[in-house]
Amino acid sequence: MVLVLGLLLTVVGLAIAGRRLFFLYRLVSSGKPAPGRTEGAWERVQAEIVEVLGQRKLLKKTVPGVAHFFTFWGFTILLFTIIEAYGSLFQSSFAIPLIGHDSWLGFLEDFFSVAVLLALVVFTIIRIKNSPARKERSSRFYGSHTDAAWITLGGIALVVITLLMYRAAQVNVGDFPYSDFAFASHLIANALRPLGVATNRDLVSVFLVGNVAVLMAFLVFVTYSKHLHIFAAPLNVAFSRRPKALGGLWSTPNMDPEQLTEDTVFGAGKIDDFTWKQLLDLATCTECGRCQELCPAWGTGKPLSPKLLIMSLRDHLFHSADRLLAPAPAEGATAVEAVPLVPNVIDPDVLWACTTCGACVEACPVDIEHVDTIVDMRRYQVLMESEFPSEAGTMLRNIENQGDPWGLGTSHRLDWTEGLGFEVPVATGELPEDVEYLFWVGCAGALDERARKVTQSTARLLNKAGVKFAVLGPRESCTGDPARRLGNEYLYQMQAMQNVETLKDVRAKKVIASCPHCFNELANEYPALGGNFEVIHHSQLLSDLVKNRALVPSKESQAKITFHDSCYLGRHNGIYDEPRSVIDAVPGMVQVEMERTKERSFCCGAGGARMWLEENIGTRINEARVAQALELDPDMVSTACPYCMIMLDDGVKAKQASGEAKETVQVLDISQVLERSLQE
Ligand code: SF4
Ligand code: SF4
């Protein structure tokens, strides 16, 4: 009877779950090809070890992270108990061959059973404690489905309780394979022993079948809920971007006019345009809200939440399943039209609010790639629909016609060299042998009044340290970063290819960039278009020069300073320590960290072409960031990005005007901080 019931439940459970999983497989497979997702096998194995087995990102939140760690490992170890349960259906004294009587296995099974129960208690307390706050916009769980989470907690608890109960009863009837160390089973067995052997035998049957029933019900439930991530997350991590989750955008569409057909689609305008990996992302989201919690757009009252964006696309994917999986229509029959994603599924205000800062990608424990998906949708809007915020049009035209977003033109590219006191070589042909670096000044560094001062400081420092460099002057043009982040891939590639040609023409090998956006383009995105250069950010070079004592800061400063991580220097490129080490080299200077620092840094609001877009909804992001800095009462706010500097400087000025910041607070690049310490 026990065997029949157990097998019947298993067949029904596996049939329902299997059918659902096959449906999900077909749905995800309906996506477009996703090239490069299996390259770098060893890096993928490492990612599985660190992200899935090690639970790296989850452990960043200690209490829920540790609870999740034990739940994950508990379920992994408890796979042994599933084997034992099924074995016991056939033979009451079943033990796993070879290891089935080993004390360590009995101990591990019991230890993780108890650990999982304790983790469930922690989860329950956290949920109850945060329950009212979860409904508030500031909660990371705002908008998540919470009912399913209670069912999951209950389901896991039942799996473990039924498991411990049949094991305890097995002890009392002499069928338990572990004589000692399975402490929990033996402890419960003591309590059940007075019931007698016959009753304990009945208890084994009841709880064994109960365990199988709960397992099967849980399996089915998981495949129909957000807890699908139990299966999907290891796959999503295995196929995620490697070696880096951020940096350059993943895809570089072929824009060669000769290879385009009238069916060519740029970007993603409907769910059908996503790759299978992007669809797998949607199916994997756990609704944990770690991305939402850190998103600067959401945090300042914009309608964009990376979590809600992924959830909306996921819901739309499931609503579109019948159409996506339907056989191709017969000849002459009309296919059901796909719904345009914007504005039907994603509001334009959501799409254009993203700064591409990458906080969401960095935080996501299951490696969902929000930024690539958002830019893909922008590409469709710009290239296929010509729909984008009107103010972006001016910036795009300026890049196209004048080679910079402000439209100032090439004639001003060398203005910053005036009054430097030394000659800056301008590369007109091949760089001379003794010139080691090509200094990529960038549009802001050459044309914005405040950023020019940073360029001058950097140039003076390089000159003082004896670094031989040259610049392109009028031959330098916008890298195309704002055009690309806005979705205008065509303009980006025109700019990028022109720049690659110029850099090849002067035979540049090592390039210094003081703008992290330029750095990111040159280092991470130009290789896809044939530009392979050794690129170094000025913070890295200055850090080396200080370390090698080519620059020796000596003038003492008692200033309190906080460093703001640029998203494209930090999260996108992992450069956190070098700019800080430059500041630390200044004698007497006190460096303090904001709460949102390094990987968790808060965007200045300029990335993703947002520098050129209106910010009409919610609080201004730059002012929110400045407010975070001002909490430390600093004398200086430092950065290593011209765009961050402009945004933070505007923010500080706004706060000074409203009396919220002291008049003496300064915003400086690390090169300026260093240079001041060198001056007599
Ligand atoms: S990239 Fe930044 S702004 Fe865009 S959704 Fe992610 S966290 Fe929000
Ligand atoms: S996208 Fe990632 S971080 Fe955001 S809610 Fe989903 S699983 Fe959590």
pLDDT at 332 over 80: no
Q: Is the CB of 289 under 6 A from ligand 2?
A: yes
* Partners of 590 in beta bridges: 560
Among the ranges given (330-334, 559-563, 654-658), the one the predictor scored with the smallest mean pLDDT: 330-334
Task: Give the distance (Å) from ligand 1 centre to CA of residue 633.
Answer: 27
Task: Give the distance (Å) from ligand 2 centre to CA of residue 652.
Answer: 33
Q: Which atom of ligand 1 is nearest to the CA of 363?
A: 7
Q: Is the CB of 479 under 6 A from ligand 1?
A: no
Grouping H, G, I as helix, E, B as strand and the rest as coil, residue 279 is helix
Cα–Cα distance between 160 and 201 in angstroms, integer? 19
Q: Which of 603, 613, 622 to mutate to test the pocket of ligand 1 (most atoms within 8 A of CB)?
A: 603
List pLDDT tens digits, range 218-265. Answer: 999 999 988 899 999 999 999 999 989 999 999 999 988 888 888 899
pLDDT at 59 over 70: yes
Cα–Cα distance between 48 and 53 in angstroms, integer? 6
Task: Give the distance (Å) from ligand 2 centre to CA of residue 148.
Answer: 16
List pLDDT tens digits, range 555-605. Answer: 999 999 999 999 999 999 999 999 999 999 999 999 999 999 999 999 999
List pLDDT tens digits, range 472-517. Answer: 999 999 999 999 999 999 999 999 999 999 999 999 999 999 999 9
DSSP secondary structure letter of residue 276:
H
Q: Is the CB of 51 under 6 A from ligand 2?
A: no
Q: Whose CA is nearest to atom 3 of ligand 2?
A: 364
From the list 213, 123, 201, 197, the residue with the least C-alpha distance to 161 is: 213
* Partners of 562 in beta bridges: 592, 637
Cα–Cα distance between 425 and 28 in angstroms, integer? 55
Contacts made by residues 72-76, CB under 8 angstroms, sequence distance 24+: 73/112, 73/115, 74/112, 74/113, 74/115, 74/116, 74/119, 74/160, 75/116, 75/156, 75/230
Task: Please state, as a whole number, how many other Cβ atoms lie within 10 Å of the Cβ of residue 83.
Answer: 15
Q: Which atom of ligand 1 is nearest to the CA of 295?
A: 7
List pLDDT tens digits, range 353-401. Answer: 999 999 999 999 999 999 999 999 999 999 999 999 999 999 999 999 9
Q: Which of 298, 312, 351, 354 to mutate to test the pocket of ligand 1 (most atoms within 8 A of CB)?
A: 354
Task: Please state, as a whole number, how many other Cβ atoms lie within 10 Å of the Cβ of residue 84.
Answer: 23
Q: Which of 357, 377, 486 to mutate to test the pocket of ligand 1 (most atoms within 8 A of CB)?
A: 357
- What is the structure's pLDDT at 142? 92
Angle at 277 between CA 364 and CA 354, to 5 degrees: 50
Q: Is the CB of 288 under 6 A from ligand 2?
A: yes
Task: Give the distance (Å) from ligand 1 centre to CA of residue 360.
Answer: 6
Q: Is the CB of 356 under 6 A from ligand 1?
A: yes
- What is the structure's pLDDT at 131? 79
pTM here is: 0.94
Q: Which atom of ligand 1 is nearest to the CA of 355?
A: 3
Task: Give the distance (Å) from ligand 2 centre to CA of residue 268.
Answer: 21
Tell me the mean pLDDT in the region 197-224.
96
Cα–Cα distance between 213 and 484 in angstroms, integer? 53
- What is the structure's pLDDT at 335? 77
- The pLDDT-based confidence of 118 (bands split at 50, 70, 90) is very high
Q: Is the CB of 354 under 6 A from ligand 1?
A: yes
Dihedral in degrees, nearest 10, Cα atoms 425, 426, 431, 434: 10
- What is the structure's pLDDT at 680? 59
To the nearest whole number, what is the mean pLDDT of the chain?
95
List pLDDT tens digits, range 158-172. Answer: 999 999 999 999 999
Q: Which residues contact 654 (CB under 8 A, 6 or more apart)?
A: 620, 623, 626
Cβ proximity of 537 and 578 under 8 Å: yes
pLDDT at 679 over 70: no
- What is the structure's pLDDT at 79? 93
Percent of the chain's residues with pLDDT above 70:
100
Q: Is the CB of 203 under 6 A from ligand 1?
A: no
One-letter identity of residue 278? Q
- The pLDDT-based confidence of 207 (bands split at 50, 70, 90) is very high
Q: Which atom of ligand 2 is nearest to the CA of 281?
A: 1
